[in-house]
Amino acid sequence: MHQESDLPGVCPRRRRCIATVPGPARLPPAKAGPTYTPRVPRGTRERRGNARARPRDRTIEEPYVRVVVAPDKFAGTLSAREAAEAVARGWRRARPDDELALIPTADGGEGTLDVVADAVSGVRVHEAEVVDATGHARTARWVALPSGPALVEGAEACGLAHVSPEHRDPRWATSYGVGQLIRTATDSGVTRIVVTLGGTATVDGGAGAVLALGHRLRRPDGNGVKVGALPLLDLATIEPAPALEVPVTAAVDVANPLLGPDGAVAVFAPQKGASPEDLPRLEEALTRFADVVEGTLPGGPWREVPGAGAAGGLGFALAAFCDARLEGGAAAVAALTGLDRALDHADVVVTGEGRLDAQTRHSKAPGWVRDRAHAAGARALAIAGQILEDAGAAFDDAADLGPHGFERAAELVAERAAELAGRLP
């Protein structure tokens, strides 16, 4: 746990205020001396209670500002923590007296567990033996937070990154290991479970996880359905197990439904190794699964719920079998790390990831951070390896790393942060 910044050029008077905030993260209150006094422009309502001014209505008069640095990972180059530290180095060069809080974030994809474990003081990291997407043994982690919840990262058990390209086959890949992690966390006595659904190798509708939680999926002859997606074509009946004793939140990084042209098969199966010839059969298998589930369990239908298609349909299974609430991954992670509270006290927020594109607005961490910053009346800045189309226009300022982003990512992130800081009004 860092008690003070080791960044060069820190004004000693402010050194204690610059931290990689552990535990429930929050920015320190303003101290005596320069005070935070936002000017309310003529014609703009004064902020009261939960009312929040728009960012361009907010004028900062003191010589320093409160900056929250909240990037996601830059895939293939920088972890979220490394990206945040690079931003801080660059920002400090241009504005050495600003107060910085480094709170890396994630949207529920691979690496979310590391972000939360790094940000929250007192977490306990546990390990469990599970099966991976191909059915082989794997040691996977989950974390228990001191406030009571557990975080289970789906990609820890059946992540696409753990399967070599030549062995990726979503026809037979299973989410069984995710169910094993959920059961392990439940048995440990946690108060609720947050399951992140990004980055998996599966398109089995979450059927593997359902089996690991004790539910029985039967064929017409009464025998059990095997794990994988294609065996679901033979599903006839379901024998539900007792409900979990703790509430479950599914943190999704996409809003896709289970089926159809925007569903788990059409959009994500090709990324996981499915051939064009595989797609119709996979869609048929998930349709069969949805028909039997929704015809057996009360509370549905769930196939059209935004996020039902996340993690190859695991969002659907958790909603149906665990009564899970599907929530945007970025919001769920921000609530666990304290980023959500910290943004209420920020003047400027710097976020980013490897690529800003059309999906950034809808489901990715930088889009959520931007919207949340604007709602709090803060400026939202972004740094990305690439900025496609007009994805940067939604931010108050944005910069990409250029053609050498992969080779010099940390150096270029720091340079862009210094440029953004220098352009701050």
CATH of the domain at 246: 3.90.1510.10
- Percent with pLDDT over 70 in the chain: 84
Residues 240, 200, single domain; the answer is: yes
Residues 194, 82, single domain; the answer is: no
Question: Among 331, 366, 393, where does a domain finish?
Answer: 331
Predicted pLDDT of residue 362? 66
For the chain, counts of helices (H) and of strands (E): 12, 13
User: Mean per-residue pLDDT for 7-34?
Assistant: 35
Token pair listed for 267: 């959009």
Q: DSSP 3-state helix, strand, coil percentages of the chain (rounded to 5)?
A: 35, 20, 45
What is the bridge-based pairing of β-strands 99-102 and 66-69? Answer: parallel
Residue 421 has pLDDT above 90, yes or no: yes
By CB atoms closer than 10 A (0-12, 13-18, 19+), residue 376 is buried
Predicted pLDDT of residue 390? 84
Residues 130, 75, single domain; the answer is: no
Q: What is the mean pLDDT of the chain?
A: 86
Backbone φ and ψ of 264, nearest 5°: -60, -40
Question: Among 298, 331, 364, where does a domain finish?
Answer: 331
Domain assignment of residue 35, yes or no: no
Which domain range does residue 411 map to?
A: 66-103+338-423
Predicted pLDDT of residue 64? 67
Tens of pLDDT, residues 229-257 = 999 999 999 999 999 999 999 999 889 99
Residue 28 has pLDDT above 80, yes or no: no
The CATH code of the domain that includes 77 is 3.40.50.10350
Q: Where are the beta strands (DSSP E) in 197-291?
A: 216-218, 237-239, 248-252
Domain assignment of residue 323, yes or no: yes
Of 337, 277, 332, nearest in space to 104 by CA = 337
What is the distance between the alpha carbons of residues 333 and 280, in angstroms, rounded to a whole number?
Answer: 35
Whether a cis peptide bond, with omega within 30° of 0, leads into 24 is no
Predicted pLDDT of residue 389? 81
Residues 187, 276, single domain; the answer is: yes
Predicted pLDDT of residue 63? 58
Residues 298, 414, single domain; the answer is: no
Residues 230, 214, single domain; the answer is: yes
Going by pLDDT thresholds of 50, 70 and 90, the confidence category of residue 171 is very high
Of 28-37, 150-159, 350-359, the one with minimum mean pLDDT is 28-37
- Look at the chain and report how many structural domains it folds into: 2
Residues 296, 359, single domain; the answer is: no
Domain assignment of residue 264, yes or no: yes
Residues 316, 412, single domain; the answer is: no
Q: How far is CA 370 from CA 84, 107, 393, in A?
A: 16, 13, 11
For tokens 């992140």, name the residue. 196
CA dihedral (204, 80, 401, 366) positive or negative: positive
CA dihedral (55, 58, 63, 64) positive or negative: negative
User: Mean per-residue pLDDT for 130-145?
Assistant: 96
Token pair listed for 227: 């794990």
- Percent with pLDDT over 90 in the chain: 77
Residues 225, 290, single domain; the answer is: yes
Going by pLDDT thresholds of 50, 70 and 90, the confidence category of residue 62 is low
Question: Among 314, 331, 348, where does a domain finish?
Answer: 331
Residue 172 has pLDDT above 70, yes or no: yes
Domain assignment of residue 32, yes or no: no
Domain assignment of residue 42, yes or no: no
Residues 159, 294, single domain; the answer is: yes
Predicted pLDDT of residue 75? 87
Domain assignment of residue 289, yes or no: yes
Instruction: Please tell me the pTM assigned to this model.
Output: 0.81
User: Mean per-residue pLDDT for 24-35?
Assistant: 34
Residues 99, 212, single domain; the answer is: no
Domain assignment of residue 41, yes or no: no
Residues 320, 371, single domain; the answer is: no
Residue 116 has pLDDT above 70, yes or no: yes
Tens of pLDDT, residues 87-97 = 999 999 999 99
